[in-house]
Amino acid sequence: MELQQLRETAAAHFKADGFPTTKDERWRFTDVSRVANTEFSTEWKASNLKFKPLGDYYLVFENGKLSSEKSKIDGLPAGVKVGSIMDHLDPRLGQLSDSQSAFVAANTAGFTDGAFIEIADGVSLDSPIHLIYLADLDGAAFHVRNFISAGKASHVTVIEEYIGQPNTSYWSNAVTELFCADHSNVDHYKIQLESATAFHFQTVEAQLGENVLFSNHSFTLGAALGRNDIRGKLLGEGSEAICNGLYLLKDKQHFDTHLFMDHAVPRCNSHELYKGILDEKARAVFCGRILVQQDAQQTDAVQSNRNLLLSRGVKIHSLPQLEIYADDVKCTHGATVGELDEEALYYLQTRGIDPKQGHAMLTYAFANEVLDEVKSSAVKEYVGRLVQDWLE
């Protein structure tokens, strides 16, 4: 579909349905009227925010627009295309995105820039590609659209990082579409450090062919109100999808994670581990749905959501869901909510560790389980430090 046509369809869809309300089951616990009732400007300015690249190649977006001066993509091996989505419109654009979602429709209708990454068949990229989104423009809305295509037997790591200037209010509304061809190995990371007064919404959709290894890690620390929609479609046999995440929330932050894993074919595995630490008046929503279609025999799906509550006033809504139409499957999900284990704290005290330190150790250990699964050492180290800082 031509981009213009795609935009018009999306705009019409958005116009007809508007923003979701809490009467919509998928938005039951997340009220987006604050976004709906805000007028966003279309002004633009360059950003003064600092950033630190986590790989040899990086694209920097200043308030939603790619800055070629700040970016670095020279030295990319042959068969790797990285640039602005506006210069590389792939015919598959918009195929994956969930047209039911108002946020995706708003993005499709109005995206102004975004990253385009294409890895040719058999190409393996050693260094991660770091996508950095800087936001420091009060009252603005950024619709960023990313398109990532990994060819057959290719290998790539992409890190998306959203950085916001503290005390600025804006609406960041991103969509990332990932196509993973047969035998590819794709690691996708997202580090969200938006301003604590901003709105952040993102939909990540991945389509997996045969024998794909795909991982998605989301680290959420920022935004006043936000949501991640992560949707995986397993369309080829023998693939494995890992979707892990960590959300650290405080003040009055509200963050929603909606995971959807669609097993359409036999012999695929999906593993999901989401952990949350909530402090002060924070509120978290986790909804993880695993769909196993009738033909998807020998599916192995495991999902777990664990939440640590640090203070009175926090709220958690956890909705792990299994929808299974095949019989020869192994599917489990679990959810826990609780405080730190008093006995563990006591044990540490008997070993001479004071309660405050013990508290910090146990909390870090709780979060560390997600970090342990991270393959990229740059991400592991960076996020590890962010978690430490958050805890202090």
Asked if 311 touches other proteins (CB under 8 A), the answer is: yes
String marking each residue 315-354 x if it binds other proteins according to CB under 8 A: xxxxxxxxxxxxxxxxxxxxxxxxx---------------
- Tokens linked to 188: 């996708």
Closest distance between other proteins and the C-beta of residue 308, in Å? 9
| Residue type present at position 284 | A
Give the Cα separation of 290 and 377 in Å (integer): 29
Angle in degrees, 0-180, between the axes of helices 355-372 and 377-391, rounded to the nearest 10: 150
Tell me how far apart the terminal alpha carbons of the chain are, to the nearest angstrom: 50
Which residue, 128 or 245, has its beta carbon nearer to other proteins? 245
Total binding residues toward other proteins, as defined by CB under 8 A: 34
Out of 167, 294, 349, 388, point to the residue binding other proteins (CB under 8 A): 294
Closest distance between other proteins and the C-beta of residue 217, in Å? 23
Backbone angles phi, psi at 260, to 5 degrees: -140, 120
Closest distance between other proteins and the C-beta of residue 383, in Å? 25
Asked if 391 touches other proteins (CB under 8 A), the answer is: no
String marking each residue 9-48 x if it binds other proteins according to CB under 8 A: ----------------x-----------------------
* Interacting span for other proteins (CB under 8 A) from 91-99, 113-121, 208-216, 306-314: 306-314
Give the Cα separation of 178 and 146 in Å (integer): 8
CA diameter of the chain: 68
- Tokens linked to 152: 């057959």
Q: Are 283 and 315 in contact (CB under 8 A)?
A: yes
Closest distance between other proteins and the C-beta of residue 333, in Å? 5
Closest distance between other proteins and the C-beta of residue 331, in Å? 4
Closest distance between other proteins and the C-beta of residue 350, in Å? 23
Q: How many CB atoms lie within 10 A of CB 350?
A: 7
Compute the residue count for the chain. Answer: 392
Query: Which residues of the chain form contacts with other proteins (CB under 8 A)?
Result: 25, 294, 297, 307, 309-312, 314-339
